Amino acid sequence: MAKPSVAILGLGIMGSGMATRLLSANFPLAVYNRNREKSLPLATAGAFVAATPREAAFRAQIVLSMVSEDAASRDVWLGEAGALSGASPNSLLIESSTLSVGWIKELASKAAERGCQFLEAPVTGTKPHAAAGELVFLVGGAAEALDVARSVFSALGRDVIHLGPIGSGALMKLINNFLCGVQAASFAEALALIDAGGLDRAKAMSILTGGAPGSGILKRMAERAAANDFTPVFALRWMAKDLAYAIDGASGKGVSLPLAAAALSVFQQAIASGHGEQDFSAVIKLPQRK
């Protein structure tokens, strides 16, 4: 059976990894990125480089977006020469960015007006997982649309979890990320106390990462701290964005997230201190002394 044609909108850390994976799996691929230079390696590998999101969507049966935030998603789908205006009726639109539940529901409504199928499918994993086909998709939407997407998801991921109707995937991803943010902020405080107390940092981190607190987030942050390497895999400012979306989404459901709010304050201070473009583990650089 012929593989469906795909368009990838957004070639950041995740989008470029996903595009590379689809090309290696021989999917017909169109790509769009606001900074065209990021598209050039993919063009060499066989992708069609579209001048606009509309052009990319016009060439594809499945259109997948992987961008940074609500505003970027709104622009790529609904802006001037946006993808929705180029999408054919009955094509499948997939939003895989980490976005607010409110915007996802609005976008789904716009897709339905166009006569398109729609899924939200945010992911867990990083660029190496995308390039290796090891992502996990957190899907909200109709089962029929998911059936259409399975060949693409199978190439990009190791698991697809259908969580329910539109909004379910976005909510689950925000819950996942706010827990990561809270852990990261608490580890920053722990590290400050380790240093202030004169403890051997390497021994202390070994105890924490090897014991009950030793989540994947703590282990990753400990490795980054030991190497003094904060090259962004997931930028600190995007963690702050996700914390804010989670807090806002919870408020709409009558739930307060005081620990997420405290973590957001820590990340906002780190951004103000100039660490926003570094990996989110750079939150440990924020001075904790009174």
Which residue ranges make up each domain of the chain? Answer: 6-165, 171-285
- Is 173 a known active-site residue? yes
Q: What is the pLDDT of residue 287?
A: 79
CA 203 to CA 183: how far, in whole Å?
A: 20
Number of Cβ within 10 Å of residue 287's Cβ equals 8
CA 77 to CA 50: how far, in whole Å?
A: 14
Mean pLDDT of the chain: 96
Report whether pLDDT(119) > 90.
yes
Question: Does the pTM of the predicted model rise above 0.85?
Answer: yes
Q: What is the pLDDT of residue 173?
A: 98
Beta bridge partners of 160: 137
Exposure string over 240-278, b if 16+ CB within 10 A, otherwise e:
bbbbbbbbebbeeeeeebeebbebbebbbebbeeebbeb
Report whether pLDDT(288) > 90.
no
Q: Name the CATH superfamily housing domain 6-165.
A: NAD(P)-binding Rossmann-like Domain (3.40.50.720)
Q: Using a pLDDT cut of 90, give the percent of the chain over it.
A: 93
CA 208 to CA 191: how far, in whole Å?
A: 10
Whether the CB-CB separation of 136 and 159 falls below 8 Å is answered with yes
- Summarised one tens digit per residue, pLDDT across range 211-234 is 999 999 999 999 999 999 999 999
User: Judging by DSSP bridges, how do beta strands 92-95 and 117-120 pair with one another?
Assistant: parallel
Q: What is the pLDDT of residue 226?
A: 95
Determine what percent of the chain falls in helix, strand and coil, rounding each to the nearest 5.
55, 15, 30
Report whether pLDDT(290) > 70.
no
- Summarised one tens digit per residue, pLDDT across range 71-96 is 999 999 999 999 999 999 999 999 99
Domain 171-285 grouped into CATH 1.10.730.10:
no
Report whether pLDDT(58) > 70.
yes
Q: What is the pLDDT of residue 194?
A: 96
Residue 282 CA from chain centroid, whole number = 18
Higher pLDDT, 40 or 289: 40
Arithmetic mean of pLDDT, 140-155? 98
Q: What is the pLDDT of residue 127?
A: 79
Residue with tokens 């029929």: 144
What type of residue is 34? R
Which of 3, 38, 110, 173 is flagged as catalytic? 173
* Cβ partners under 8 Å of residue 276, min gap 6: 235, 236, 237, 240, 270
Q: What is the pLDDT of residue 289?
A: 60
What type of residue is 42? L
Report whether pLDDT(1) > 80.
no
Where would I find the H helices in 115-200?
A: 127-132, 143-156, 168-196
Q: What is the pLDDT of residue 126?
A: 86
Whether the CB-CB separation of 225 and 209 falls below 8 Å is answered with no
Question: What are the CA-CA distances from residue 269 to residues 247, 265, 280, 285 (Å)?
Answer: 17, 6, 12, 11
What type of residue is 74? R
